[in-house]
Chains A and B, each alone.
Chain A
Amino acid sequence: MGAVTLSLVLAASACGGGSSTGGGSNDSPKTLTYWASNQGASIEIDKKVLQPELDKFEKKTGIKVKLEVVPWSDLLNRILTATTSGQGPDVLNIGNTWSASLQATGALLPWDAANFEKIGGKDRFVDSALGSTGVPGQDPAAVPLYSMAYALYYNKQIFADAGITEPPATWDELVADSKKIQATGKQAIGAEGANVSENIHHVFVFAKQHGADFFTADGKPAFTDDKIVEAVKQYVDLMAKDKVIPAGNAEYAQNQSVSDFAKGRNAMLLWQSAAANLTSQGMSEDAYGIAPVPVQSGTPGTGTQINSMVAGINLAVFKNTDNLDGATEFVKFMTSDEEQKILNTAYSSIPPVRTAQDDPAFNTPANAVLKDTLAKSAAPLPQVPDESQFETAVGTAVKELFADAAAGRPVTTESVRAKLEKAQQQMPAK
């Protein structure tokens, strides 16, 4: 039995990975498999949005696209296993924050100048979106598909009842306004305390506003920097000290804070491109306003005035696709002006393609805030290969700090530093 086992192991390792030869081919030019991330209210809704477009593509090129909408909970695992085994889709969506991590695996087709030329050139895309496609200085691992930015969504009625006329522009104002709101018996602002990714997106912005980065220029983690500690503490203090985030939100991880907002329980919500989501929950567009995420002082801009991450979805081509030309053709199709308008409208996101972005559809007041943020005051999350570990380690640290705050345990500079210290030590050794 031992011998059989051994030989099977050897067989498995001999072809382990299966894709070591790299390069794609054009062996099956008539079909493509596409993994789409779940963008709409449900997987079924996504299929309804995407299928007509894929049919158009088939009509145009004769290539049949097999669509699978993958839930977020499974997406990274599916990509990982696809990478390990070489058995994957031809084209896939990735969260843009994963770009550098997935780039490091070498499983994705690098978008060099020649490849970009095939889809109309790199210049078609806005810079902020291109900044989230991989490690700076390397050929991007993916092409921007949908862009999103954080904004402050506020309930107009609750604001009026509390006597607030202007949405808060700084965190101090936000806390002050929250107190007025709480005086009317409503909850002030929601958060997803147990959602690791949401935590990362917020503390990243706070860190920027404190003039700090989670990684040094040469890619080493610097989580225990004084300013980082301050930044994380400021975010958690919204619950711990200022008590404007309800304690119950510490266990939220399934977007309950969005429902709370849609149902009028919370006055405010910091969220990325929430319009379609709120509409589908029955909140009318007149009921809420959209303002830029607050800053420490002054107005949003670059440097310490950053008030959002560059959120979004990228489109990547699996390197060992057996329909390289078709895959490129498909990327070109999905990033064409027309498709960009249709898809980004459906998902209430902003097209990362310049020419599509100019369309009047994206000039509504709601979209104007998001577009403005993306253009002027958004920064990409660290584009380092260890990004996914960073999200897990720091995001979990923040989750635990929220749990402390919710349980009434003090959140001090020391306790924040201790959690971040632990997170930093969990990062892979360099």
Chain B
Amino acid sequence: MPDPTALAARRGPAARRGSPMAPPRSFLWARRVFLTLLTGFVLVPVYVMVSSSLKPLADVSGSFRWLPSGLTIRPYIDIWSTVPLAKYFVNSLIVAGAATVCSVVIAVFAAYAVSRHTFRGRRVFTVTVLSTQMFPGILFLLPLFLLYVNIGNATGIALFGSRGGLILTYLTFSLPFSIWMLIGYFDSVPRDLDEAALVDGCGPLGALFRIVVPAAVPGIVAVAVYAFMTAWGEVLFASVMTNDTTRTLAVGLQGYSTLNDVYWNQIMAASLVVSVPVVAGFLLLQRYLVAGLTAGAVK
């Protein structure tokens, strides 16, 4: 059973090492070739995205060119006026942020229950939750919409078209995987710790928040990142369940391929701008991610 705090501190994959034996030539060459090719495969689209976002429109609507004919930051200025990008950005932040927070909190409770308690229906619960991963989104798009509308009609809580409805939807998208991962992670947190806390007079929730959660930070971060990315990138439900005021980036970006012309440079600039928060966050938190996955998902 790995000690989670140690895992969090560890920077990278465990070294295979133990033996001083140097890897053979064939291995080094294979590694060099493979990683070079893979780097190219990964980098080319990233390069295209960055370079195209700095090109004048003429460069991106004609034949492809590796190097821009001139660099311009014009696209980065224009993107904000071509479509109300700032508004979509705020919407996406609110929706993805709220969905993440709720999803993590709910998943922590549920995973704690499954990991630390025995109760009837435990197995049914885990299987049911996991099985929702199998549902094709398209099957429940329209029914969910109808349900939201009817809840709205019956209770006055506006779910359809509102950010609330979208938050609710997205948080359940990431919930199953999050719960499942956290169960794994919590299982790896030594039980003696929270039992000691219980003996010390903490309630079960006290034990959860004082012992289990702090010990499970990497797992929780991993789950949060996953939830945020899920919400940030979803297209299908956003296209039907949002309107002018609540539209998210995923749908709003379509605004750049307008009636007139496809402003590829602006599309690339906007793509870059909307990617930065997720990519930066993701990369900053990557070591937690690896640690979280190590204990939670793959143990």
11 pairs of residues in contact across A and B, judged by CB atoms under 8 Å:
A12-B146, A39-B259, A42-B82, A71-B254, A73-B239, A74-B240, A78-B243, A81-B240, A84-B142, A85-B149, A280-B260
Q: Which residue of B84, B152, B259 has the most chain A CB atoms within 10 A of its CB atom?
A: B259
Q: Are A73 and B83 in contact (CB under 8 A)?
A: no
Provide the residues of chain A in CB contact with B200, threshold 8 Å: none
Q: Is the CB of B153 within 8 A of A42?
A: no
Q: Is B262 an interface residue (CB 8 A)?
A: yes
Q: Known contacts A44-B82, A74-B251; is A85 also within 8 Å of B160 by CB?
A: yes
With contacts A44-B81, A74-B251, A281-B261 taken as known, whether A18 is within 8 angstroms of B149 at the C-beta atoms is yes
Chain B residues within an 8 Å CB radius of A256: 262
The answer for the CA separation of A77 and B254 in the assembled complex, in Å, is 15
Are A84 and B257 in contact, with the CB atoms below 8 A? no
Question: Is B39 among interface residues, defined by CB-CB distance under 8 A?
Answer: no
Q: Mark B138-161, 1 if CB is under 8 A from A, else 0.
A: 000011011101101110000011
Question: Could you say which of B83, B146, B255, B260 contacts A258, with CB atoms under 8 Å apart?
Answer: B260
Kindly provide the distance from the CB of B211 to the nearest chain A CB, expressed in whole angstroms.
31
The answer to whether B262 and A15 have CB atoms under 8 Å apart is no
Residues of chain A touching chain B, judged by Cβ–Cβ distance below 8 Å, are 1, 8, 11-12, 15-16, 18, 38-44, 68-71, 73-74, 77-78, 81, 84-87, 254-256, 258-259, 262-263, 277, 280-281
The residue in chain B whose Cβ has the minimal distance to the Cβ of A40 is B259
Give the nearest-CB partner of A14 in chain B: B150
Cβ-Cβ contact count across A and B, 8 Å cutoff: 86
Size bin of chain B's contact surface: 20 to 34
The answer for the CA separation of A88 and B59 in the assembled complex, in Å, is 42
B260 touches A277 (CB 8 A): yes
Given contacts A42-B82, A81-B145, is CB(A69)–CB(B244) below 8 Å?
yes
Is B258's beta carbon under 8 Å from chain A?
A: yes
A85 and B153 alpha carbons, distance in the complex (Å)? 10
Interface residues, chain B, with chain A CB atoms under 8 Å away: 61, 81-84, 128, 142-143, 145-147, 149-150, 152-154, 160-161, 239-240, 243-244, 251, 254-255, 257-262
Q: In the complex the two chains form, is B152's CB within 8 Å of A41's CB?
A: no
Taking the closest CB of chain A, its distance from the CB of B107, in whole angstroms, is: 19
- Evaluate contact between A259 and B260: CB separation under 8 angstroms: yes
Give the complex CA separation of A79 and B84 in angstroms.
23
CA A81 to CA B81, docked complex, whole Å:
29
- By a CB distance below 8 angstroms, the chain A residues around B240 are 74, 77-78, 81
A262 to chain B: closest CB distance in Å?
A: 8
Is B149 a contact partner of A87 (Cβ separation < 8 A)?
Answer: yes
Complex Cα distance, B83 from A38, in Å, reads 13
- Nearest Cβ in chain B — how far from A268, in angstroms? 18
- Give the Cβ gap from A101 to chain B, nearest Cβ, in Å: 17
B260 touches A16 (CB 8 A): no
- Nearest to B125 among chain A residues (CB) is A1
Residue of A nearest to B256 (CB): A42
Pairwise interchain contact A84-B145, C-beta atoms closer than 8 A: yes
CA distance A8 to B150 in the complex (A): 10
- The chain A residue sitting closest to B239, CB to CB, is A74
Report whether A77 and B150 are in contact in the complex, using a CB–CB cutoff of 8 Å.
no
Residues of A within 8 A of B143 (CB): 12
